[in-house]
Chains A and B, each alone.
Chain A
Amino acid sequence: MSTQPATGVVVRGLEKVYVDPETAEEVVAIRDLDLDVPKNEFVSIIGPSGCGKTTFLHILAGLRHSTGGSISVDGKVVTKPGADRGMVFQDYALFPWKTATENVEFGLKIKGIPPRERRDAANQYLKMVGLDGFQRKYPRELSGGMQQRVALARALANKPAVLLMDEPFGSLDALTRSNLQELLMRVWEAEPLTVVFVTHAVDEAAFLSSRVVVLSPRPARSERIVTVDLPRPRRWAELASNPRMGELREEILTLVQARDRAVVAGEAL
C-alpha cells in the first residue's frame, strides 16, 4: 500500500527549526520526519503534548513553512495553503457572520461554482453531518458539537485531496465527542478519503484510524506506526467490548508514555 508514493501524502526528511522569541535560541521542532499516508487511508498522529504535531499539520496545510525536506499531496508539492488540503480546527473557526449554509458555501464560491449548485451541495453536506434544518442558523445559535459538524461539512464540501484534522473533538464533552467520532466514521466509510488526524487521545486514535503514527518528543519524528486491525464499520457499542481494542489501546499508550518518560529522563540528566 505504501509503495505508491505518487498518491496520498508523502513526507520526506521534514525539518522545522524556529527561533524561540524569549531565549533567542534555535529550537528543532521536527527533524527527519518521514510519513506516508496512502490515498483514502485514515491515519492518526499521536504524541505527547508539545511534540510538534500541530506544527506538522500546519506545515502540511501550507500555513507554515518547513526549513527542510519535502511534502507532496497526490504528487503535488506543498508550498502554500490550498483548497486541496481541507482543514478542521479544534476551535471550529467558523465565520460568525455567515449562516451554516454560507459557511459551507465559502470554498465553493471561491471555486466559482454557481449559486444554485453551491446551495445544493451545502444542503447535501449539512444533511450528511446531521444538520438538516439548521441551514439558516448562525454559529452562535449552534452548540459546540453542531459548530464542528458545520466545520466538517465545510471542509468536505470542498472535496479536498486530503482532510487535515487538528484535535477537532478536543474541546467537546465526552458524549458529543463519541457522537462526532461515530459520525466521522460513517462519513468516511461511506466515502473514503485521505485523512491525517492529530490527537492526544489514545482511544480516539485507535477507534478512528487504519494506522496510528506515534511521534517522538521534540524534535518530532515518526517513531512507531501501529496498524489498527479492527473491523469496520467502527461503532463504539461494538468496539468498547472488543478485546483487540483494549490491546491496541494498551500498545499505543505504552509507546506514547515511553516517549514521555524519555523526555522526563532527558530533563533529569
Chain B
Amino acid sequence: MTGATGTNLGEIAGRVRGLSALVRAIYRVQIVLKRRIPLIYALVTFLFPLAIIGGVWAFLASLELYPDYLFPSPSKVFAKGVEMSLSGEIFRHIAASMFRLSVGFVAGLVLALPLGILIGVNRTASALFMPPVTFFQAIPGLAWVPLAILWLGLGPAAVIFIIFNSVFFPILFNTILGIRSIPENMPNAALCLGASPWVLVRGVYLPGALPSIVAGVRLGIGYGWRALIGGEMIATSTGLGFMIFDARQFLGTDVVILGMVVIGTLWLVLDSLILRPIEKRTVIRWGTVRG
C-alpha cells in the first residue's frame, strides 16, 4: 500500500518536475527571443491576444446564429474597411475626429495647467476654486451636449467644447496632486538659490509635478476620446462617432464594427506608442525619490 502510494506520488512529482523543466525551457526561449528580436517579439505578444478575439469572432460569425447584416464576419468588415479606405471616406472621418480631439485637448491642457499650479501652490486660490471645480467635475462631459448644441450650434465647436470638458478635469486634479506632493523644502531650496517666482514655477513646480501631470494627460485624452465619439453621434455630420451612428440607419453593422475597430486601434496606438512611453520615461527618470 505504502509502496504503491509512494510510487504514485513519485510519478506525479516526476511529471510536475518535468513540467517545470518545460516551463523553464519555454521561459529561456522567451528571454532569448526577447533579446534577439525585440521588436518582432513585442509585436507578436501584443497581437496574439487580439488574434484570439478575432478568431472567436470569425468562429461565431461562421455559426450564422444571426443573419449576416446583424452580425457581420471579420472578412466582411475588412472588405468594408478596404472599400472605405480606397474611397478615402474613413480618413476624412478620422481626420475630423483627431482634429477635434487635438483642439479640445490643447485647450483643456492650456487652461488646466496654470489653474492647477495656482491651486496647488496657493491656499487662498485652493479655498476659492476647489468647491466649484469639484462641483463641475461631477458633471459628465456628455451632460453638456444639450447646452453645447444650443450655445455653439450643431458642429465641431460643440464637440470640441465637450472634449475640453472631459480633458480639463483629470489634468487639473493631477496637476494639483503633483504640486502638493512636492516636498516643501524643494521650492525652499530653489528660493535660497535665488529663484524668482517664474523660475520656481518653471524649474521646480512644473518638473516636480510632471509625472503626475503626464498621468493626468493620459487619463484626460482617454476621457476626451470617449466624449468625442459620444458628442459626434449627436452634434456633427463627420467623424468616427457620426460614421457609426449614421450607419445604423441602413443596417450598416459592418460600418459600425469597422468604426469600433478603428476607434480601438487608434487609441491603442496613441496610448501604447506615445502616451505610455512618455509616462514611463518620466516616472523612471524622476525615480522613487520624489515623494
Interface residues of A (CB under 8 A from B): 61-63, 81-83, 85-87, 89, 91, 93-97, 106-107, 110-111, 138-140, 151, 154-155, 158, 164
Residues of B within 8 A of A94 (CB): 189, 289
Q: Which residues 264-278 in B have Cβ within 8 Å of A in the complex?
A: none
Task: Decide: B285 and A106 in contact? CB cutoff 8 A.
Answer: no
Q: Work out how many contacts link A and B, with CB atoms closer than 8 A.
A: 75
Task: Decide: A83 and B288 in contact? CB cutoff 8 A.
Answer: no
Which A-chain residue is minimally distant from B194 (CB atoms)? A83
Residue in B191, B204, B207 whose beta carbon sits within 8 Å of that of A81 in the complex: B191
Report B164-191 CB contacts with A as 1/0, cut-off 8 Å: 0000000000000000000101101111
Residue in B186, B190, B194, B287 whose beta carbon sits within 8 Å of that of A138 in the complex: B287
Give the complex CA separation of A209 and B8 in angstroms.
78
Task: Decide: A110 and B193 in contact? CB cutoff 8 A.
Answer: yes
User: Taking the nearest CB of chain A, how far is it from the CB of B28, in angstroms?
Assistant: 31
Task: Decide: A89 and B188 in contact? CB cutoff 8 A.
Answer: yes
Residues of A within 8 A of B196 (CB): 110
Residue in B194, B286, B289 whose beta carbon sits within 8 Å of that of A107 in the complex: B194
Residues of A within 8 A of B191 (CB): 61-63, 81
10 new A-B contacts, CB < 8 A, other than A94-B189, A97-B210, are A61-B188, A61-B192, A95-B203, A96-B286, A96-B287, A97-B207, A97-B286, A110-B194, A110-B199, A139-B287
Q: Which residues 186-227 in B have Cβ within 8 Å of A in the complex?
A: 186, 188-196, 199, 203-204, 207-208, 210
Give the complex CA separation of A85 and B289 in angstroms.
26
Task: Decide: B185 and A83 in contact? CB cutoff 8 A.
Answer: no
Residues of A within 8 A of B290 (CB): 96
Residue in A97, A106, A111 whose beta carbon sits within 8 Å of that of B190 in the complex: A106
Query: Could you jot down 27 A-B contacts, CB within 8 Å?
Result: A63-B188, A63-B192, A81-B192, A82-B192, A83-B193, A87-B188, A87-B189, A91-B185, A93-B183, A93-B188, A94-B189, A94-B289, A95-B186, A95-B190, A95-B204, A95-B207, A97-B207, A97-B210, A97-B285, A106-B193, A107-B193, A110-B194, A110-B196, A110-B199, A138-B287, A139-B287, A154-B189
> How many residues does chain B have at the interface if contact means C-beta atoms less than 8 Å apart?
24
Residues of B within 8 A of A91 (CB): 183, 185
Residues of A within 8 A of B186 (CB): 93, 95
Residues of B within 8 A of A110 (CB): 193-196, 199
Residues of A within 8 A of B285 (CB): 97, 138
Which B-chain residue is minimally distant from A90 (CB atoms)? B185
User: Taking the nearest CB of chain A, how far is it from the CB of B189, in angstroms?
Assistant: 4
Give the complex CA separation of A89 and B186 in angstroms.
9
Residues of A within 8 A of B188 (CB): 61, 63, 81, 87, 89, 93
Give the complex CA separation of A111 and B290 in angstroms.
26
Task: Decide: A86 and B286 in contact? CB cutoff 8 A.
Answer: no
Residues of A within 8 A of B204 (CB): 95
Which A-chain residue is minimally distant from B192 (CB atoms)? A87
Which A-chain residue is minimally distant from B282 (CB atoms)? A97
Task: Decide: A140 and B288 in contact? CB cutoff 8 A.
Answer: yes
User: Taking the nearest CB of chain B, how far is it from the CB of A253, in angstroms?
Assistant: 29
Which B-chain residue is minimally distant from A142 (CB atoms)? B289
Residues of B within 8 A of A82 (CB): 192, 194
Which A-chain residue is minimally distant from B193 (CB atoms)? A107
Task: Decide: A93 and B185 in contact? CB cutoff 8 A.
Answer: yes
Task: Decide: A140 and B287 in contact? CB cutoff 8 A.
Answer: yes
Which A-chain residue is minimally distant from B288 (CB atoms)? A140
Give the complex CA separation of A164 and B186 in angstroms.
15
Give the complex CA separation of A53 and B185 in angstroms.
16
Report B98-139 CB contacts with A as 1/0, cut-off 8 Å: 000000000000000000000000000000000000000000
Residues of B within 8 A of A154 (CB): 189, 193
Which A-chain residue is minimally distant from B210 (CB atoms)? A97
Task: Decide: B287 and A86 in contact? CB cutoff 8 A.
Answer: no
Which B-chain residue is minimally distant from A58 (CB atoms)? B188
User: Taking the nearest CB of chain B, how far is it from the CB of A90, in angstroms?
Assistant: 8
Task: Decide: B289 and A96 in contact? CB cutoff 8 A.
Answer: yes
Give the complex CA separation of A89 and B189 in angstroms.
8
Residues of B within 8 A of A140 (CB): 287-289
Residues of A within 8 A of B193 (CB): 83, 86, 106-107, 110, 154-155, 158
Residue in A63, A81, A106, A139 whose beta carbon sits within 8 Å of that of B203 in the complex: A106
Residues of B within 8 A of A158 (CB): 193-194
